[in-house]
Every structure is written in structure tokens, then in C-alpha cells.
Structure 1
Amino acid sequence: MSAVAWIAVGSLAAWGWLSLGQGFFWRTDQRLPAREDPVVRDTPENPAGWPSVAIVVPARDEAAVLPDSLPSLLAQAYPGRAEIFLVDDGSQDGTGALARELSARYGGLPLTVATPGEPEPGWTGKLWAVRHGLALARARDPEYLLLTDADIAHAPDSLRELVAAARSNGLDMVSQMARLRVASTWEKLVVPAFVYFFSQLYPFRWVNSPRARTAAAAGGCVLLRADAAERARVPESIRQAVIDDVALARAVRGSGGRIWLGLADRVDSVRPYPGLGDLWRMVSRSAYAQLRHHPLVLAGTVVGLAVIYLAPPVAVLTGLFGGDPAAGWLGLAGWAVMTGTYVPMLRYYRQSLWTAPLLPFTALLYLLMTVDSAVQHYRGRGAAWKGRTYARPETAP
């Protein structure tokens, strides 16, 4: 066989292993677990049985999305005591004032708006804001903390369902991957693949198994027991982490906590990424940090993406136009398995299944975004976000 055919064999073998041996990452059935604990059953006669919750929202220049997200938090139908702490992280667009205006207009849960000042050395901006918000929240002695981003909209029963799931299953942390916006053409092409790749890297079944070592979370929606946060020294133990959600999950699991991660049905991101440039910046700002800023890991990632995602269509073209039928059939088989594993994610996002065969093209975009992330890092512009640049961010010891 030709070299292309042998590469196609390797790609097909990789897809066989990924589809069966990587925690069935491609399935989308990891949703909130059973919620049957009688302590938190939905009975208006016994609201005192529900634990208190402090909701911490770090926000930097979020005036564009706040009208679509904050009212959903204010309107939470939660039977117990809950209040919101929005930390305005040096915004220049009136985020704090807008939050107070929305609270006055909609009412609902109590809202406190605070400003922490510029982060101290060794802290990322978001975690500095979270630190300030947690300090305010802990003064109220809540049993649970909900960490949620300013672009996340929650269904009215979202908090109640999160707390019920945590209490019913003895979980220290429950995190939901918010359903991201898919309105523009580029969002439809890139966003479902983002979640698909994330679940491939951190299979949700492995994360949710108490016997597994894999740890991950989705930073847009994390419910955390307050005592578990104390044991894990959150956020001090992860103060330099750019990929703070994964670092948070590792800290909680490393301190003996039980964690859970799944796809959301009641939690949505309202942040728009209308153009390819917007999505490119979203991915590239942290892609190289995910690889621990290691050139050899980057090289291995590039080769791996090329063999797994790009080799099958190249082999098909070689078979069609290069007179290599073995390469063509092997490439087609690998491409078919790849496409089949992508279908459930497209269904979750209610997208046309005809886009599934385009996954190799999307993977090529992610490959280029990852390389660009490394280039920006070595130029001293790595992890740039909303006016701040973390040239060499790392997780704190």
C-alpha cells in the first residue's frame, strides 16, 4: 500500500479507539443527574429545607449582554435564600451601573455590585474578581456558591435544579456546559465543534466517575459547595489559571471532592460570535495554555489533528484523483466514523446534519487557531482578553 493508505489506516484505527475507548465522548446524554432528595423536594410548604446560595458573577465590559442574562438570575424561582454578587472588574462601559438599573427594574433576588480594583500580581482578572465576590458571599455563610459568567442566561428553575442535583447525589461541584449561541454561519460551523472537541479531551463520563482522574468543568455555570471551595483553597490555589474552569475542577477533585459535568438544558450563553475573527480570538487566547506552553506538545497536537481529522479526506481525494483505491476506501471509512460521532452534537445544537462531513475543515481551523495561539504567546501577547494580556500564565502551585 501507499504511504497515504497507511496513514489512512492509522487514522481509521484512531477513530475506532476514540469512538469506543474515549469514554463515549461523542454521546450527549450526560445531563443533570437524578434529583430525588426529599430534603430539597419542591414543596412550597417547606422552603426552609433548601440550602442558601450565593451567586457570584464576575463581569468586565459586559453591558452588551447583561440585559439578556442578569434578569434571568434575578428571576430565579428558588425556594431558599439566594442573593447575587456581581463584581464589576474595571469595566469601561457602565456594566456596574447597568446591573443596578436592571435590578431596580426587574426586582427579584437581592443584588450587590462591587468593584475589586486592579488585580494583584499573580492573579488573572477573572479570578481576582471571583476572589472578591467569594469574600462578600462568605460573609453571608452560604452552603452553596454558584459561579456563573455575565453572558449566561438561566431558565427560572436552573438554580433549583442545580442544587437538587448536587444534594441528591452527594456532589461537591455540579457544572453545566452552557448551550452556546449558534446564529451566524460561522457560529454554526465552529461552535458545536468546540463542545465536541472539549468533550473529546475531557470525556464527561470520565469526569463524572468517582474512580476516574479526569477533571473538568464549564466555567459559565458551576455550583460549588462552600466547604468544598474552602478545602480546595479556591480561588487562591488557581489564581494564575487562564483555563480556570478545568483548574477549578482539578482543585476540587484533588481535595477529595466529587464533581459532575454535563450538557445544559436550562443554561444558555447569549454572547454573540458573529464572525470568524471573534471565534478565532475566543479559541486562540487559551489554546496554547491548554498545551502547557510546551512546543513538543504543540507539535504532537498538530500531527495528531492532521492524522485524525485531515488524513481521511486527503486519502479520499487521493483515491479519486491519484489512482489509489485502497487509500480512498480507507479514508472514506475513517471519514464516515468521524462524521457519525459528530452527529449527536449537531442534534443537540439543532443544526443540519449535512454539516457533519465538514468537521475536517473545522478541525483545520482549530489547528490554525492553536498554532496562532502559540505564535501570540511567543510574541508576548498570549491569553489577551478585554484589554489584559497574560504573557505566560500558569496554574499557581
Structure 2
Amino acid sequence: MDDAEIAIVGAGAAGLSLAYRLCAHPPAGTGHPTNTTPSARATALARDRPSIVLIDAPRGPLRPPERTWCFWEGSEGEFDASLSGVWDTLRVRAPDGTSVIGSPAPLRYKMLRSSSFEELVAARLDHDSRVRRVEAEVKEVRDLPQGAEVRATTPQGESLALRARWVFDSRPLTTLPPARTTLLQHFRGWFIRTDRPVFEAGLADLMDFRTPQPAHGLSFAYVLPMTPYDALVEYTEFSGAVLDEQAYDEALRLHVKKQLGLERYEVRSVEQGVIPMTDARFPRRSGRSVFRIGTAGGATRPSTGYTFAAVQRQTSAIAAAYHLGRTPEPPPVHARRSLAMDSVMLRALDTGRVDGAAFFAGLFDKVPMRRLLRFLDGRTRWDEDFRIGLRTPVLPMLRTVAELPWLPRHHQTHPLPQRRTS
């Protein structure tokens, strides 16, 4: 007999989001006709209220530190009460210091700390008798004739075997699938506090390219103020290799001093991470009853590294399919057209055919901010994509389009994300 109807491996953004949505009331339209038989109604009720085991890694190196997730959405969202910051005005600075300032209304840029999200989800799960939380290191997930089995080890060293009809695995892949191009988005951020009001709380620097640029790829800083005294200042690179902590800190010190004009400040906490930017194809199904979700299931947008909003779309679709009695296979969350355009951009950046800083700064200068953010989220129509494409360096991009079909895909090993998602 199964231990649960559903097992979720990993309690990060994807695992928590899926548990949160499965425990919500079934979406509109999934109610059960009153003229069905009692046994059919009982089956449907059990499907609406699945038993769930949520397996989290023990505290230690397997469990990531606190992370920050950023995303944009309409003015009202279901996680608004837990946000650390919201910005209605965004600024992008070119390498020469010229800036584009705009409002993407009705979209708003939002920041959510993982600890706040965990508290919000726990408030729902902890009072739901259907959910059991387990702390263990998962060693293996395998198919069975009916369902799947998760084998794990508890913090006390005891072996654990859990059976479920469906298993959703959000653990990072140890090896990326073969790809034509793979860059890493790697970053380190300081949460700083100043002794005087220097930040404009409603204005976020989304990308500031007044940073030393790598030979291939790009770098930028961003500043997300929470109060006039507090902000997250982060240094980010898109390149082929990560830096050491000293290099990140030096870049941050330079930006804070030279561009923000700050001499006195306190670094209250630090975050650091790596996100793959790749045109690899991430399989969303690894067995008859086993699925991959989150970054491991292709939720990360290759051109930006944002994941959180896509995870919400992915897990909402899984929950809806399950409540309707369908196979709850994660759907693709990024359109083929969007992924194809991302492949071109990544290759153009990696070859150095386009200047990364000038590329992004130019897009924000030439394309209305709301449309560009919708584009980066894969929500634009094909004609909008075409018009945006005309605002890029056309000849280098066309050359890249022509060569992509002939490029082989290679296996590569890279560290996978520790946060954002964005």
C-alpha cells in the first residue's frame, strides 16, 4: 500500500509551490456532478484531497541557504503579504551612464525571500492533515509497477522507503543535459544598511552596466531598495566560469563606492548563487510515475535566469491536471519560439558577436518597458517578438541563427542554482 498519493522531493520554491497548490481548493470547473455514483464521487473527493509527503533535505550542505526570488506580475498577487519589496519604477543604466527609467504598469517588480515564502506555505500545510513533512536525504527515486518509490536516509542514519502513486522531484541535476551553449549566471549580493537615507524606495536599478565587462558575456549590478536606508546590492555575471568570493566582493565594493557614492555602510547579510543559462533540453518526465519540476524540469528561462514565476505556472498546471483526473505531467512553461530566441542570444553572447551590455541596454532603450518584461517572461505574441528582434544587432543575430542547426550538443557539468528563480 502506498504511503501517500503524491511524494514531493525537495522543499524549495518548486516543491513548496506544488504542495501549496495541491492543498488549495480545486480550481473552478473541477467540481463533481451530483448524478455520479457514490463510488465515483468518493474517488473524485480523494483526488481533490490527496495525501502528500513533502521530503526536505536535512539541515547542512544539501539544504540551500536563504534565497531571494524576484519576478514581475500584476499589481495584486497571492504572495503580496510576504514580499520584502515592490517597485513600480525601474531603471537600466548603460555602460556610459545614460539611463532609461520607466514604469511597466500594470506590472510590478517584486522580491520574495525564501524564508517568508516558507512561512506562508507552512501556514497552509501545517494545518492540513493530508500533508506529512519528512526530513531525509533522498538517495534514489525509482518506478514501480504501480507508482514509484523514494529511498532516503534520515538525519539519524536510518533507511527510509516511501511509496507514492506520483513522485515530483525538484532536486538539482548533477549534470546538465547536452547543450550547444551554456553560460552561467553567477552572482553575489550584499544586504546593506546605511546611516543616512540614500535610496529611493520605489525605484529599483534593474540592470546597471557600469561594471567591468568580461570578454564573453556581460556583467551588471542591481540595487533593490527596501527602505531609504536598506537595499540589496548585487553583482552578476553571465559568463563561462564563476569567480571567487574575493572577486565578487571587490566588484561590489567598487560599485557601492563609485556608483552609489557610499563610504559608510553595514553589510548585514550576504547571498550567492549560480544559475545555468543553457539551451539544453530538460526532460520533465524521468519515469512512468516520476516527474521533474523547477529548474530540473526546465522552468528557468535561459536568457534571464528567472524561475519563480514560471514555477508558479508549472505547479498550477500540475495541480489542475491532477484534480481533473489527468496524468499530472509538468507542461512546458516556455514556448518553443521563446527558447529558440534564447538559443540565439546565448550563442551570440558566448561568441562575442554582440556586446552583452550594449545589447540589453539597447533593448530597454528601444522597446517599451512593459512589452520587454512581457517578452522576457515569454508572454508576447509572435509579431511583438519580431518587432523586438529588429531592435537587436540584426546581422550578428542572423549569422547565429544560420549556424545553430549545425552545432552539436555537448555534455557539460556546471553547478546548478542556489536561489532565484526567478
TM-score normalised by structure 1 residue count = 0.26
Q: Which has the higher strand share?
A: 2
TM-score normalised by structure 2 residue count = 0.25
Q: Which has the higher helix share?
A: 1
